[in-house]
Amino acid sequence: MFYFLTNVKGYLKTTFFIYQILNLINLCAYIFEMFTMSDTILVMGACGQIGTELTEKLRELYGNNQVIASDIREGSIDMMESGPFEILDATDKNAILQIIQKHKITQVYLMAAMLSATAERFPIKGWDLNMTSLLAVLELAKEKHIQKVFWPSSMAVFGSSSPKINTPQQTVMEPSTVYGISKVAGEHWCNYYYEKFGVDVRSIRYPGIISWKTLPGGGTTDYAVDIYFEALKKGNYECFLDEHTRLPMMYMDDAIDATIKIMQADTEKIDVRTSYNLAAISFTPKEIADEIKKHVPNFSISYKPDFRQDIAQSWPNVIDDSKARKDWDWNHQYDLTTMTTDIIANLKNKAK
């Protein structure tokens, strides 16, 4: 009996010891995971005007291998060499799922779209790309394959019946372009997936985005990028908008800053689940030309408005983005003068 009891005691002691060791291993694994776990991001439409610089910034912040760039075409050498890249059609839900599973993606930035001027030429294709890609990503988030989604809307959600000065966050939205219609619908899909399924999708209404690294992809505000290149190359520019057409614009650095800021904000700060108004500067073609003349004194501009004039005329002059500023501390850095100085210095440097 004594022998039996000693054996049971020994057995219990050993089991308890093994149990303690297993607990310790579990704890170590948990601590290891805590320290090594971070978001893995998929950027779709990464080779476009915004996607290129967004990918670059995200790789700087999260690490090159944590940010998977994707597009239906290859991008710049920098983009292709600085981290993982996948050819991916944003309208193919199964293909997106495969990439999400392959790279253990937690967040998606969906930048693939057809922009305003191009979508007016190919309305059905524009609608199809803009809607199918968004619904594919929202469904994948609903099915819990990803945790967070960024999808950009645009000032194109507003139309002629919206107030033009200080266009409010919530107002009449009757867009006149297929692009604008797709963005209004997209905003409501985002809100629907948030309300019904708890999908954490965040969105901002970009104004016209101005950059010098990557050329724009067929928008109505593209003149404000082309003008810098032509000023330095030829000394003159023929603008497709009328000289007094005032539109809301933003330097790329500010747009990237806002995009990452809204994605990193605490959930309770995101009060709007359609899309936030976002603004920085508003100017006319004449005003940007006058600013360029300070750096290129002989620069001249002429005006030959085309179909894009009608689109521009339906959009706001100045947007009120106080809600974004209040909710998640958004602030822009660049005005027309500092943006122009920066772009011209960079383009001159690039040409050397």
Ligand X SMILES: NC(=O)c1ccc[n+]([C@@H]2O[C@H](COP(=O)([O-])OP(=O)(O)OC[C@H]3O[C@@H](n4cnc5c(N)ncnc54)[C@H](O)[C@@H]3O)[C@@H](O)[C@H]2O)c1
Question: Of the ranges 6-14, 32-40, 216-224, 295-303, which one interacts with ligand X (CB under 6 A)?
Answer: 216-224
**Alpha carbons 276 and 262: distance in angstroms, whole number:** 10
One-letter amino acid for residue 299 of the chain: F
Q: Which of 39, 86, 89, 342 binds ligand X (CB under 6 A)?
A: 89
Question: Of the ranges 137-145, 195-203, 212-220, 232-240, which one interacts with ligand X (CB under 6 A)?
Answer: 212-220
Specify the residue, 91 or 277, whose C-beta has the smaller distance to ligand X. 91
Question: Of the ranges 40-48, 265-273, 312-320, 324-332, which one interacts with ligand X (CB under 6 A)?
Answer: 40-48
Residue of 220, 202, 200 whose CA lies nearest to 210: 220
Q: Considering Cα of 279, then 281, then 286, then 291, what sign does the dihedral take?
A: negative
Query: Residue 129 phi/psi, 5° resolution?
Result: -65, -50
Specify the residue, 296 or 310, whose C-beta has the smaller distance to ligand X. 310
User: If binding is defined by CB under 6 A, does position 48 make contact with ligand X?
Assistant: yes
One-letter amino acid for residue 59 of the chain: R
Residue 179 annotated in active site: yes
Q: Which of 208, 248, 285, 316 binds ligand X (CB under 6 A)?
A: 208
**Alpha carbons 171 and 289: distance in angstroms, whole number:** 32
Q: Which of 43, 112, 262, 280 binds ligand X (CB under 6 A)?
A: 112
Residue 177 contacts residue 311 (beta carbons within 8 Å)? yes
Report helix angle 336-351 to 223-233, nearest 10. Answer: 50
For ligand X, the binding residues in 245-264 under the rule CB under 6 A are none
Reading the block at residue 318, the tokens are 């100045």
Q: Which of 71, 187, 291, 321 binds ligand X (CB under 6 A)?
A: 71
Residue of 319, 204, 323, 201 whose CA lies nearest to 258: 204
User: If binding is defined by CB under 6 A, does position 47 make contact with ligand X?
Assistant: yes
Task: Determine the size of the site formed for ligand X (CB under 6 A).
Answer: 28
User: If binding is defined by CB under 6 A, does position 73 make contact with ligand X?
Assistant: yes
Specify the residue, 261 or 293, whose C-beta has the smaller distance to ligand X. 261
Q: Which of 19, 30, 109, 179 is catalytic?
A: 179
Q: Which of 43, 50, 99, 319 binds ligand X (CB under 6 A)?
A: 50
Residue 350 contacts residue 299 (beta carbons within 8 Å)? no
Q: How many residues does the chain have?
A: 352
Specify the residue, 129 or 173, whose C-beta has the smaller distance to ligand X. 129
Shortest spacing between CB 129 and ligand X, in angstroms: 5
For ligand X, the binding residues in 289-318 under the rule CB under 6 A are none
User: If binding is defined by CB under 6 A, does position 209 make contact with ligand X?
Assistant: yes
Shortest spacing between CB 300 and ligand X, in angstroms: 25
Q: Which of 216, 248, 285, 316 binds ligand X (CB under 6 A)?
A: 216
Residue 70 contacts residue 85 (beta carbons within 8 Å)? yes
Question: Of the ranges 26-34, 189-197, 214-222, 319-327, which one interacts with ligand X (CB under 6 A)?
Answer: 214-222
User: If binding is defined by CB under 6 A, does position 97 make contact with ligand X?
Assistant: no
Specify the residue, 253 or 296, whose C-beta has the smaller distance to ligand X. 253
Question: Of the ranges 70-78, 136-144, 305-313, 335-343, which one interacts with ligand X (CB under 6 A)?
Answer: 70-78
Shortest spacing between CB 56 and ligand X, in angstroms: 13
- Provide the binding-site residues for ligand X, judged by CB under 6 A: 44-45, 47-51, 71-73, 89-91, 111-113, 115, 129, 152, 154, 206, 208-209, 216-219, 221
Which positions are catalytic?
Answer: 179
